[in-house]
Every structure is written in C-alpha cells, then in structure tokens.
Amino acid sequence: SQKIEQNSEALNIQEGKTATLTCNYTNYSPAYLQWYRQDPGRGPVFLLLIRENEKEKRKERLKVTFDTTLKQSLFHITASQPADSATYLCALNPNAGNMLTFGGGTRLMVKP
Amino acid sequence: DAGVIQSPRHEVTEMGQEVTLRCKPISGHNSLFWYRQTMMRGLELLIYFNNNVPIDDSGMPEDRFSAKMPNASFSTLKIQPSEPRDSAVYFCASSLRGTGNTIYFGEGSWLTVV
C-alpha cells in the first residue's frame, strides 16, 4: 500500500542548532514533493517544493533534499529559532496533477 | 489577496443534524480541495474539483458526505446526518492547476458533533 511516513514523535532541539526532519514514502513515484508548516489552530502553509530531478533546494535557512532512490526527503532548518516551533508536513502527488497526499507531520520544538 | 475563506470557523452540532461548511477559494484559482484533519488520521483529501467539476471524490468517507462547487468562487461540504466520528477540522484549499503548484489552505472549520 502507499504510505508517507514522518516521525510522529516530537523533535526537541536547542536554539541555534540544525533541525532535520525526515519524510519517507513507499509505493509512490512522485514528480515532486512539498513541505508545509502548520501552527496550532491554523491551516498548513507552503514552504518549499522540490522536483524529482532536483537533489537539493534552499530557501533562506531552509534546505530540502530529495532522494528518489531511497524514497526519502530531508528537511533542514539551520540556526533554528523558537519561532520555528511548529508541525512540519511533507506532501507529494501520487499521480500526475496537483492533488497532494500528506504525511502525518512532525512537531518541532525549539527551546531557547 | 484575502486568501481562502472558510465558514463557519467553529461549529458544534448534535448528532443527526445537517452540517454545511463553506469555502471561497482564492480568486483566479481553478482547483479546489476539501481536506479533513484528525489526530488519528492526519490530513486526508476528501474531494478535489478542477474548473468546478469534481475530479476525485474517492476520499469522501460515505454517502453522508457531499460536496458541490456551483461556481468558481464558492464550494460547500455537507454532512447529513452528522455523527460524532465526523468531529474534525475541515480545510478547504485552492491552487492554480498545474503540476507542482502550491496549495493554499484556509484556516479550517472546527466541527464538533455531540
């Protein structure tokens, strides 16, 4: 069956450190993968998109990698800040088009 | 731009009652999505419209759920009759059709069925 797996346990890190979140998928061949941020009581907000032919994408303190052989994406936040505390969701399209399927999300807590 | 607008933001209703959730997508977007989020199941796609036409409704849990998009600026998700297990946050989202386009979410409608 098709699965998108993110670590359901919260990730606790110290301010200033790099946070690394993992997204693994099985039985998909996505053309691209997206990462979203969700704050409590709010809707998810788009952060980054990476296509299947891209190995790495950066945006300010964010970096995403996409390994289609390992079927894995890593999401990094460098120089983390307490304001980065949120739940981060990965999403991919199971087939052609822009319909997205989401992972369960990983909650990140950055402590001052 | 006002973003995706959903109403109501919060709804508490009794089992058996009809619930109607409303959504106004971002102007110019031609794809609209209804998602449901719970702690147990995460964010699930219920139905997807493109140019006001339902494309994929395989995520709609059962016949009690129905969705319509009578025009490009309005959609409804209806639950009739509602049950306690329908309690969840329901998100509407919109995007411009095309591979890899960003999906913009509303703030959600928090439904509690007692």
DSSP B23-88: EEPPTT--EEEEEEEETTTEEEEEEEEETTEEEE-TT--STTEEEEEEETTEEEEEESS--GGG-E
pLDDT of residue B1: 63
pLDDT of residue B83: 97
Cα B95 to Cα A2, A8, A111, B14, B41: the distances in Å are 24, 28, 35, 33, 23
pLDDT in tens, B64-85: 999 999 999 999 999 999 999 9
* CB-CB neighbours of B113 under 10 Å: 20
Interface of A with B in 44-83 (CB under 8 A): 44-46, 49, 51
**Is the CB of residue B49 less than 8 Å away from at least one CB of chain A?**
no
pLDDT of residue A98: 63
Mean pLDDT of A6-10: 88
User: Could you say which residues of chain B have pLDDT below 70?
Assistant: 1, 98-100
pLDDT of residue B100: 65
Q: What's the gap in Å between the CA of A36 and the closest CA on chain B?
A: 10
pLDDT of residue A32: 87
Instruction: Name the pairing type of β-strands B65-71 and B88-95.
Output: unpaired
Please state, rounded to an integer, the average pLDDT across all residues of chain A.
92
Please state, rounded to an integer, the average pLDDT across all residues of chain B.
93
DSSP, collapsed to helix, strand or coil, labels residue A5 as strand
DSSP A47-84: EEEEETT-SEEEETTEEEEEETTTTEEEEEESS--GGG
Contact B14, B114 (CB under 8 A): yes
Nearest to A42 among B99, B104, B107 (CB): B107
**Is the CB of residue A11 less than 8 Å away from at least one CB of chain B?**
no
Nearest CA in chain B to A44: B105
Contact B43 A89 (CB under 8 A): yes
pLDDT of residue A97: 61
Contact B91 A100 (CB under 8 A): no
Residue A31 has pLDDT above 90, yes or no: no
**Is the CB of residue B95 less than 8 Å away from at least one CB of chain A?**
yes
Q: Which residues of A touch B4 (CB under 8 A)?
A: 43
